[in-house]
Every structure is written in C-alpha cells, then in structure tokens.
Structure 1
C-alpha cells in the first residue's frame, strides 16, 4: 500500500481532504507530530466528510519515530527545492510520499540528508507552491498509475439517460 506522510501538518482542512483521498485511493496516511490541530477537530472531519471515520491514520510522535517505522521502505520527499520531477522517478507499491507543513515545507536538514529522494511538481517560475491537498493527490495518483492502480476500481458504469435538446437551454 502506498502511503502519504504529512510532516507536522498545520491546517485541518488540508489533512481532512488528504485523508479522504487516502481512503478513496487505498493509501495509508501517516501524521508526524506536532499537529496544528486535534484529530477530533470539527474542521478536519468536515473536510474529510463521511470518509474520515474509515481512515485510520498512523500518528508518529516525531520524525525519529516515523523513520523507525519506515525502515525498509522508500520515502520520497515532496519539495519545491528538488532537482527531479515526480514523474521521473519509479514509485514502488509500498513507498511513502512525505509532504511538509503548509507554511514552511520539509526542513532543509531532512531534504539535504535525502537529496536523491526529493521530488517536485513543476510550476511557473517564481510561484511559491501548490496547495498541500492538490500536491498530495497529484503525486499519489502518479504513484498509483505507475503501479497500475492496483486494487482500485478501474471501470465505472454510465447510466444511459435520454437527454432532450431543451435540457441544455
């Protein structure tokens, strides 16, 4: 199972939305303390909708505790400072993809210690960053695509409705 890791997340709406994406995609969610909110916060539950009760996030007391739990797994670090693009790496089926706090990103000392594992989403020059929820979804779904969307429902079912031309006026 792929995993999203939020390092010291600050905004409950973002974590709630990412939790919803994790449930829908079958990914795990890992949260590294300190958190900028309580997991019982109404805002996190509002953003996560009815998906949140089905999410069972793993909460790590700190970065060191997370590293102990992730031994043997590849951890990708999403940052605007990376030299390689997220589509240029090969994601494994049980990799971790880490995102930093909304206001400051993953600390520089972690990034420099793992520079070969840093990935970025291309943006226009001079732009600071994308929203955390969007970034997590973009990278997660590329990792899922590379792993052939394993375990996910690949085909929907259209209901054949008859439309009248005056329905579009």
Structure 2
C-alpha cells in the first residue's frame, strides 16, 4: 500500500501518545514506524484504548534500533522534528512518502542523529516558558501541514 507519509517514533515512552498517533496514522493513511526500545508493550491496554478500535487498521513496523530503521528506509526523505532545529516545519516543501521523525517524550531525538541530519531538522515554534509540546500534538501539527502541502484534503 502506498502511504501519504511515514511517522517515525524513536523510543516512545507513553502508550497514550503512541495510541493517539496510531489513530492519526490510520486517519491520514500514514505508516507508523516504532524504533528502538518502547516504554510499553504493544499489547498495552492504554495504547489500545487511545487508539480506540482503529489499531487493527494501522500499518506499522517495529525496529530494534535507529541503524535497523535506517538500513531498511535509507532511500526515504527524512525530516527530524526537534528543538532547536535548522528551520521551522512550515518552511519545508513536503512530498508524498516523506518520513517525519520524532523522538521520545523525555529525551527527544538522540543528539548524534540530529547532528547527522541537521539541515533536515525542523521545529514547531513555541512562545513563553514552555520547553516542549505533547508528542501526539506535535505529530498532528506536522502531519497535517505536510498533507495540506501535498494536497491530500
């Protein structure tokens, strides 16, 4: 199946967030990639509850590590959503099939990965004393901007 986008989560820790993101992926015909050690089981009741009854429709794949993920998807076009970053998420021209990469709720994307792909790092602007947004909210913001640009509405 051809997907609009690919959502990549590196070591997500909170099942509610991943469940919400899974539901978003089903709604947007995006594939979910789960990379590294997860902070929960894929059979977790909270994960399933947040994903409602849509989890069975989700196209997802798990990977042991970033290296495993990269080896299997290295031909993709990656955008790392992180703070700080090279540019705002609205300054990118997205294309069908892009990979939108997000880090864990507590650590973000590992620094060595961000440094390697710095020119493909993007951020969501924040004002005030907030240092980060909820992971599932961040995924929704960037996914819908990408879909708006590739005219998937």
Distance 1:92 1:31 in 2: 21
Aligned pairs for 1:5-154 (under 5 A) are 5-149=8-152, 154=153
Q: Offset at 1:83?
A: 2.8
TM-score scaled to structure 1, two decimals? 0.86
d(CA) in 2 for partners of 1:25, 1:67: 23
Structure 1 residue runs of 5 or longer lacking an equivalent are 155-169
Displacement over 4 Å in runs of 4+: none
Give the conservation status (yes or no) of the 8 Å contact 2:94–2:150: yes
The RMSD of aligned alpha carbons is: 0.9
Instruction: Give the greater-gyration-radius structure (CA).
Output: 1
**Kept in 1: contact 2:86–2:120 (CA 8 A):** no
Unaligned runs of 5+ in 2: none
Q: How many residues were matched structurally?
A: 150
**1:37-63 C-alpha deviation (Å, 9 max, x unpaired):** 110000100000011111131101110
